[in-house]
Amino acid sequence: MKGLIITCLLGFSWLSNAQVLPIYYDTIPEGSELVLSGSGDYAASSIYKEISSKFLFGGNITDEMIDRSLDKHKVVNRIGVDVSGELVYRNFKPLIKKWNLGYQVTAGTYYFGGALYSKDLFNMVFNGNAAYKGDTADFSGSNISFTAFQKIGFGFVSSLNRSSVSFNVYNIQDRISLNVRNGFIAQSQEVDTIGLFMDGSLTQPLNNDFNQGIGFGVDFTYYMPIEWKNEGTAFVEFQLKNLGFGYMYQDQQVYTADTSFEFSGFRFDELFGDQAINFDTLDVLDSIGVTSGIRNTTFLLPGYLQVAKIIDEHSTATVQTFFGVRLYPTLNYTPLIFAGIDWHAKEWLRVGASASYGGFARFRGGIYASAKWGRFKLGLGTENIIGAVSPKGNGLSANFRLSCEL
């Protein structure tokens, strides 16, 4: 069921300002518009799609697949998912005439999570402890986070240049955070003595309630006109999305470990395998240096800052460029740099290609098409063309945007 839900989200959703479908600057001075958009994107820096897709859609993972991805791993690796859907209504008729401000209403749902992990962690998860007999596996620096939230927002939009600000209230549906500052597992050659050193923490919900917390934040967009070579007037967009914080007023279970200890006389699978000892049942968490408690936590929402040169829909240039950078406030997501070319092939059709580096992956290439029929505009694309056609890709991406002038 979980795989089916994720599959449906990937097939439908699109992040409204994702870089592969470039943002078009146009004007609706007296009217209004409705924009439905969504994105489904998962990517990895070191795991081929032939493995990661099995967790979404099912299937067998062979030793050959594991070896191919293991060879690609470096000391630090990333994997993540960014799924969202958003509906925005904008009315450009001045609500505040003095400043030529119309208004906008936004509703959206967002699922954002990622992991930072070591090569040893991947190797032990998929190959077990056999590779570390008489050796030490290092998990230090590993981090996993995931946040699911929904928002309702109201704000103002300039009827002169489309710049806007929106104030949002968020429902926090779920949040998980794991941080391993230092972590090692050392085994004897006979695997009958296992040493574990752990300094880290885990925070997770105590229940599956849809409403775990509340958040407050802001969206902000500003367009600055510039002169740009053969394209004439171009626009630079400064955007803040979901900038704010959340508070988990539902109780959260927090485990904290700062300990070093040694097991003797146990096999590895008795401690960590399918038949592992249930430490909670044995009530030995305190004795091995793991503390457990209930807390209400405050955290930053996974919002982003983006600065980009965008496409001017009113330009007479047949070919325009777009490029920019996107930043999320998390170590699991590196700064994403992207660039692309937009070709106005026909009066009603635009097509283009993009390239990006960073985020949860390394290099990726994308393609898109955007069509206009009367008051409607439809955009479709992918940020990961190799992942769409080859199991050697580093993820999957599907993008959609539909707008209507009212």
Q: Which tens digits make up the pLDDT trace of 7-31?
A: 333 333 333 344 455 666 665 556 8
Mean pLDDT computed over 291-302? 91
Backbone angles phi, psi at 289, to 5 degrees: 90, 15
Expressed in percent and rounded to 5, the helix, strand and coil fractions of the chain are 15, 60, 25
Residues, the chain, total? 406
Instruction: For residue 142, give the 3-state DSSP assignment.
Output: coil
Residue 207: DSSP 8-state? S
Residue the block writes with tokens 């630079």? 236
Specify whether the CB–CB gap between 287 and 242 falls below 8 A.
no
Q: What is the mean pLDDT of the chain?
A: 85
Specify whether the CB–CB gap between 181 and 199 falls below 8 A.
yes
In whole angstroms, what is the distance from residue 246 CA to residue 148 CA? Answer: 11
pTM: 0.87
Token pair for 320: 């325009």
Task: Identify the top-confidence range among 38-42, 154-158, 318-322, 388-392.
Answer: 154-158
